[in-house]
Amino acid sequence: MAGEIGTTPEIPVGWRARLRQIGPGIMAAATGVGAGDLVATMVAGSRYGYVLLWAAVIGTVFKLALAEAVGRWHLVSGQTILAGWRTLGRWTLLYFGAYAVVWGFVYGATAMSASGLPLNALFPVMSVRYWAILCALAGLVLVWFGHYGVIEKLMTVLTGIMFVTVVGTAVLVTPNLLDLAGGLVPRLPSGSLVYVLGLVGGVGGTITMAAYGYWTLAKGWRSPRWLPMMRTDNAVGYITTGVFVIAMLIVGAELLLGHPVTSGDRGLLVLGDTLAADYGQWARIPFLVGFFAVSFTSLLGVWNGVSLLFADWWRTLRLPRDTPVEELDADDRRIGRRSPAFRVYALWLTFPPMALVFLDRPFQLTVVYGALGALFMPFLAGTLLVMLNTSRTPREGRSSWLSNALLGLCLALFVYLAYNEITGLFD
């Protein structure tokens, strides 16, 4: 990863120069928001209209705070997040490894299926499963041979398509601006708690948030002097996420209010059919193109970003216990796309999950996946709180009261969500 860019870019001065350098934040935001997240938001809009808009806004702020903390750790400490976790005890590495293996197996099937659905709707010459397999293979080839700059440019283009199609759909259904503004006032209708928690804690929040720092390093950002650039990049990325979420809430509120909506990725196909019935086939096609962009950016970002995380995990796990932390620098070439561990994990995401495309997910695997997934976000928020408020971080880079307050709220929310997820397994 490190060193692939070739030269360290000059630090931009002024907001216009910073905007020309953005990239990792767009990648993190586009990767974190998948088709399932947009469906969940659409369902919330179909049930409660604009009433839960405030929860989507708060969720965006929380994700922005988490990603800023990840990026700040990499830039200020000069170490990767895996190196930081190692200072908290070997248990952190063991947990992450178990999570990454199980999560990757199930997510691989989910991501390729979500990418195959809109392609099958647009081009029904093949079934969803074969389109899914082609998408997985395309993702593998891109991350195997493409350096960071290629991946960033492709994901930026796909994010632009997402923005035009998703926001364009929201404009097409003509939102009620007064009701939209009223949705910024926090309210909790009866039975809405689960949707509020999903909007605040679920949309855009996965293991991919931990990959943000690796993308900043691949971009060539190497020291605390890049903090203003990183914060601008992060803000642009997650504000874009917020716009996506609000757009889908508008679509649910205006087009589907009071109607049952199919859960899961197929809910977006239902929305495409509804658009075609109300506005003509011309409205369905660009929406399906946007659906594909949403799904494939998530696939591509995971194939690249989580493979980087896994490669660094393998490197860090194998170091002797008494290895000085200072030697765990973020510029280690063993965590790049040419490392064997990176390629093994990319293969793990691609080929074993293909079996799940043909078969229903085994119940036991789904249970383990759900439990580990529920525990990852509190793990991320909790470890960042410790790492960024102790001697592990130079004093000038430690968290402010605002960052600590937001991370603390994130931790409390994610612990509650984890409790609900795990206790729900035994109901």
Q: Is residue 161 part of a domain?
A: yes
Within a domain: 8: no
Burial class (CB in 10 A: 0-12, 13-18, 19+), 107: buried
Instruction: Find out whether 148 and 1 touch, Cβ atoms under 8 Å.
Output: yes
Residue 56 falls within a domain, yes or no?
A: yes
Q: Which residues of 199-209 are buried (b: 16+ CB within 10 A; e: fewer)?
A: bbbbbbbbbbb
Enumerate the β-bridge partners of residue 79.
329
Confidence at residue 8, expressed as pLDDT on a 0 to 100 scale = 66
Q: Is 348 exposed, middle or buried (0-12, 13-18, 19+ CB in 10 A)?
A: middle
User: Is 234 part of any domain?
Assistant: yes
In a domain, 138, yes or no: yes
pLDDT at 2: 42
Q: Decide if 239 contacts 60 (C-beta within 8 A).
A: yes
Looking at residue 175, its pLDDT comes to: 83
Number of domains comprising the chain? 1
Flag whether 314 is in a domain: yes
- Rounded CA separation 171/168 (Å): 5
Q: Does residue 319 form part of some domain?
A: yes
pLDDT, averaged in runs of 10, over the chain (427 residues): 53 86 91 79 85 89 93 92 92 93 89 90 91 96 92 94 89 86 89 79 73 90 93 92 87 76 65 80 86 93 95 88 54 70 96 83 51 77 96 93 95 84 68
**Phi and psi of 50, rounded to 5°?**
-90, 5
* CA atoms in the 13 A half-sphere facing the CB of 127: 4
CA 266/CA 121 separation, integer angstroms = 11
In contact, 400 and 389? CB cutoff 8 Å: no
Q: Which domain covers residue 95, as residue numbers?
A: 23-424
Q: Tell me, what CATH number does 144's domain have?
A: 1.20.1740.10
Q: Structure pTM?
A: 0.90
